[in-house]
Structure 1
């Protein structure tokens, strides 16, 4: 909270496909933006992972936080997202998330004035969203909009998506067996 925004766009995570493609695409098509990644394996560079306080600091210093899904040979990855999306919201990140099936069951994505997360479907749409936001990143009215969205996302996380909530849900399911 109160951190100076050092990065226009950030991503925290490994460079699994399509994450690397997304970041490389953005670096080519939006070269004037400061894009920062944290995680092991990016271009064989020693890029420090962001855990715990470092994660919170990375989010606080970023104007836009990307939530990019990963796709391995595990089919469930195509319709789920990692805890990172929850963590970004809990840290009050302004999130542009890949629009995966079911995301709207966990976060409000429409209409914009009520959204907790902005979802995108493809790289063209992501680039257009960022280009729309880019000139407004310093605009006070846009900052107020982003601040409201960040607060709504955090409130939703604390109300519905903590580990305690998941444990209660698992216990409930176990009792139903």
Structure 2
């Protein structure tokens, strides 16, 4: 017998995986959900699940979404969610990179030289002023206004540096 029927345990795992995928759909915002091109009954079930606040009712609705998901091919949905997650992870990685630069600049004066050599478009004078202001704010327990401004300047500088590098590659 070459066509083996999945065992009850395997069917249950597949069912739970589809329910989890449905829960991810419920977690999407309206714009993302509208761009998914879901069947109308599944879309309506997901929207209804977003409105449900009671725990047990929400669980039943997620089970219903899982049941509806069994009638369609979940791979396009899974692929779309994976691309959104990947772009979200890249964004988070960029933010962590910026935070590391900011902390290095505040901890070590030689980090400014490294930053200026890596990103020649950086405004050295403005960076020095912001670093000094952050240190002054920390000493006086003032609101971290310059700390945020330093982050914004680093974001702009690193974005400009990426743009310049991509332009050089195109030439």
Question: TM-score, normalized by length of structure 1?
Answer: 0.33
Q: Does 1 or 2 have the higher relative contact order (CA < 8 Å, sep 6+)?
A: 1
| Higher share of residues assigned helix | 2
Larger radius of gyration: 2
